[in-house]
Structure 1
Amino acid sequence: MTDIGDDPTNKVSLAPGAVPGTEAPGLRDADTAPAAHHDDHHADVSGGWLRPAVFGAMDGLVTNIALIAGVGGGGVSPRSIVLTGVAGLVAGAISMGLGEYTSVRTQNEQVEHEVAKERRELERNPAAEARELAQMWIKRGLPPELAHQVATVVGRDIDQAVRVHAQEELGIDPHETASPWTAAFSSFLCFSAGALVPLMPYLLGASALWLALLAGAIGLFVAGALTARFTHRTWWASGLRQLVFGIAAAVITYGIGKVIGITVG
């Protein structure tokens, strides 16, 4: 928190990343309100696990449903379908895990590079950087005098200044980057779980293609419905959306497999 001025009756409290001057009059002591002490009233949107988990689960489901539909449409044996599905599960899970790790690690390295550049600029010319920060706040409606005053005070702490400039100029918080390992493991595990669903009927002894596709369809709907917990969408709308995507992929690959099976046969 940053206090402006020497007069104890004229203080402006700034939460990290907040735009100064937006506090309502008479709320200088709002940080003592009960709600201010609860930091967990929002979901964690920067931990790096939700997006790769959802992506991995949906990709695993759709990929193996499509694979099983394609080779099943080609008329291969249940044993070949299982072999194809297991190969798709292993290859896809490894690919997803490595891909998520690399992409998140690269993104974090880019953030580190930009933050380091911002720190150098603040160290070389703090006055110019303070004016630049103040101008951004003025464009948002903050009174010029207050904007320059706050920007000057923020610049006195180089670490706080780097964080505020990164948030205002780059739209990022350098202290809240996603974990590449979390993303990788989330994607790997959820892809594996999703890809296993349409394989289960075969692994349990069934030999009918429609049972595998039905299991995959149920898995898609359930997975889609579960994602609604983190969004504003209704559970049935999210479930139907994923189900439609999966059906489209299965129909296309089944048709291609059917044509190739007839042609090759």
Structure 2
Amino acid sequence: MVLEAVNGSQQDRPAEEEEELLERHREDHFTAGEVVRDVIIGVSDGLTVPFALAAGLSGANAASSLILTAGLAEVAAGAISMGLGGYLAAKSEADHYRRELRREQEEIISVPDTEAAEIGEILSRYGLQPNEYGPIVSALRKNPRAWLEFMMKFELGLEKPDPRRALQSAMTIALAYVAGGLLPLLPYMFVPAAQKAMLISVGVTLAALLFFGYVKGRFTGNRPIMSALQTTLIGAAASAAAYGMAKAVQSA
């Protein structure tokens, strides 16, 4: 009943009014999902791993200078490793898309009737009847490029990757890792006593994890408070485990 009412109102509405409504209704969709994902990966690991390393070395009664040196080395190595991982992952996605694109092109040329039947099968899942999707199939068969794009998106669920994606992903993850990794190490730069620096680092890092978890929840559509608590608990558990292991090894 609701859909019928909506359809009826759209049919009765003049074209000029529809254009005016579309002009006023500008949907503000968030389209930077991949960048946000890379930032989340980089910052979350950057906050957690150096924090756990510094806590572990503090548990072993290492000097602040040694903790700082080891932490900076880990941040550099981690940023390179994480950035390379992001690059290879994005590159693999692009290679997979190209392989499937070539395969789909060959199928459209070699078995066009089979591929056209697949268009109808896909559209029928959305409730369209043969007499409704028939003209769409015919139109796509006349436009090979649109046909190929349709099959890639709706049959295989693949979006054309940005050719710059691999490098952008590597840089984003690496820089986010450095930004997150430097925060737990800042107290060791200014406080000579390792135990005191560790306590300050704990406070700084937990506050950063709370803030980052909250922001992550806002961007990903999850409950921000729950996201903040989960992120903080994971970071605290990792650092506590590293600190406890260092203490255990030292006392053995």
- Tell me which interval the TM-score lies in, with the shorter structure as reference length: 0.7 to 0.9
Question: What is the 5 A alignment of 1:204-223?
Answer: 204-207=190-193, 208=196, 209-223=198-212
Whole-angstrom distance in 1 between the partners of 2:112 and 2:231: 51
What is aligned with 2:83?
Answer: 97
What is aligned with 2:31?
Answer: 44
8 Å Cα contact 1:73-1:254 kept in structure 2: yes
What is aligned with 2:3?
Answer: none
* 2:147 equivalent to 1:158: no
Paired letter, 1:35: L
Whole-angstrom distance in 2 between the partners of 1:31 and 1:117: 42
Whole-angstrom distance in 2 between the partners of 1:58 and 1:241: 12
8 Å Cα contact 1:108-1:178 kept in structure 2: no
Paired letter, 1:239: A
8 Å Cα contact 1:130-1:148 kept in structure 2: no
Whole-angstrom distance in 2 between the partners of 1:206 and 1:233: 40
What is aligned with 1:136?
Answer: 122
8 Å Cα contact 1:228-1:234 kept in structure 2: yes
Stretches of structure 2 that go unaligned for 5 or more consecutive residues are: 1-5
What is aligned with 1:255?
Answer: 244
Whole-angstrom distance in 1 between the partners of 2:111 and 2:204: 62
8 Å Cα contact 2:38-2:173 kept in structure 1: yes
Paired letter, 1:259: A
What do the CA deviations read for 1:182-239 (whole angstroms, capped 9, x no partner)?
1111101100000000001111235322111221111111111121331333433222
Distance 1:184 1:31, change over 3 A: farther
What is aligned with 1:120?
Answer: 106
**RMSD between aligned alpha carbons?**
2.5
Whole-angstrom distance in 1 between the partners of 2:154 and 2:23: 23
Distance 1:34 1:127, change over 3 A: farther
8 Å Cα contact 1:58-1:194 kept in structure 2: yes
Whole-angstrom distance in 1 between the partners of 2:164 and 2:22: 26
Q: Which moved more, 1:35-44 or 1:224-233?
A: 35-44
Paired letter, 1:149: P
Paired letter, 1:244: L
8 Å Cα contact 1:166-1:172 kept in structure 2: yes
What is aligned with 1:35?
Answer: 22
Distance 1:102 1:44, change over 3 A: same
What is aligned with 2:226?
Answer: 237
What do the CA deviations read for 1:12-55 (whole angstroms, capped 9, x no partner)?
xxxxxxxxxxx957569698465379776211155x31111111
Give the TM-score normalised by structure 2. 0.86
Whole-angstrom distance in 1 between the partners of 2:164 and 2:126: 29
What is aligned with 1:18?
Answer: none
1:184 to 141, 159, 170: 170
Paired letter, 2:108: L
Paired letter, 1:256: M
Q: Name the structure where helix makes up a greater proportion of residues.
A: 2
Number of aligned positions between the proteins: 240
Distance 1:84 1:163, change over 3 A: same
Paired letter, 1:232: G
8 Å Cα contact 2:94-2:161 kept in structure 1: no
* Residue 73 of structure 1: how far off its partner (Å): 1.1
Distance 1:31 1:133, change over 3 A: farther
* Residue 173 of structure 1: how far off its partner (Å): 2.1
Give the TM-score normalised by structure 1. 0.82
Distance 1:173 1:39, change over 3 A: farther
8 Å Cα contact 1:115-1:174 kept in structure 2: no
What do the CA deviations read for 1:47-86 (whole angstroms, capped 9, x no partner)?
x311111110000000011111111111211111111111
